[in-house]
Amino acid sequence: MTLFWIADAIGLVSFSISGYLMGVRKRLDLLGILIAAYLTALGGGIIRDVIVGRSPTAFTQSSVLLFATVGILLAFLFRLHKKERLERFSLFIVMDSIGLVAFALTGALAALESGFNLFGVMLLAFTTAVGGGMLRDIMVNEVPMVLKSDFYGTIALLIAAAIFVCDRIGILGGVTLFAIATAALALRLVAYYKKWQLPKLGGE
């Protein structure tokens, strides 16, 4: 559970910053930026908790809102809204990728705790990782990143599969989770900047 809460805290801070940056990019007012930030940070976790049959931690744990607020305050204090457009977008990609990896971890761990099979672990990790970002993108009238970036949702699925296998062979722990998270984050960033794509069907 300690590893779960660490990953959850990292995801909350990272996703709230990415939501903040998206709000700035879309030229929302202050309230709109706050809604985008909180929705990105809390959306995936709420979906995760509902699926596993427990009250969403966003509604029961003050620390969840605290970590999301910390991300917003950090973004404001470091004046990320004043950064150049390209630099701000690069930071958005990094923070969104960190949030993706962290929430995929929490989704997979919650699924294992609930006794889910491989399909359940992968589905919950995927939903947790992309849920908040999808809600954010839909709110600002943008195609969700998971639908246009091949190595976005795929990362969550790979994380889930790796965690499930490690759990089954008895080597799941802090070191293995850190290794999985680091490798997944590196793969996501390299794939994005190298513009790697999955094979497409039905092309001309």
| Contact assessment for residue 24 and residue 80, using Cβ atoms and an 8 Å cutoff | yes
- Give the model confidence (pLDDT) of 73-112 as tens digits: 999 999 998 888 888 999 999 999 999 999 999 999 999 9
Per-residue confidence at 199, pLDDT binned at 50, 70, 90?
Answer: confident
Q: Is the pLDDT of residue 203 over 70?
A: no
- Quick one: pLDDT at residue 200? 73
Sequence ranges of the domains in the chain: 2-194
Mean pLDDT of 56-62: 95
Which run of H or of E encompasses 16?
helix 2-25
DSSP, res 201: S
Least confident piece of the model among 126-135, 140-149, 156-165, 170-179: 140-149
Angle subtended by helix axes 174-194 and 150-168, to nearest 10: 160
Q: What is the pLDDT of residue 202?
A: 65
DSSP state of 169: T
Q: What is the pLDDT of residues 169-188, one digit of tens each?
A: 999 999 999 999 999 999 99
Q: Give residue 151's pLDDT band: very low, low, confident or very high (50, 70, 90).
A: confident
| 152 neighbors 130 (Cβ within 8 angstroms) | yes
pTM (whole model) above 0.75: yes
Grouping H, G, I as helix, E, B as strand and the rest as coil, residue 103 is helix
Spatial contact of 150 and 198, defined as CB atoms under 8 Å apart:
yes
What's the 3-state SS for 48-97?
HHHHCCCCCHHHHCHHHHHHHHHHHHHHHHCCHHHCCHHHHHHHHHHHHH
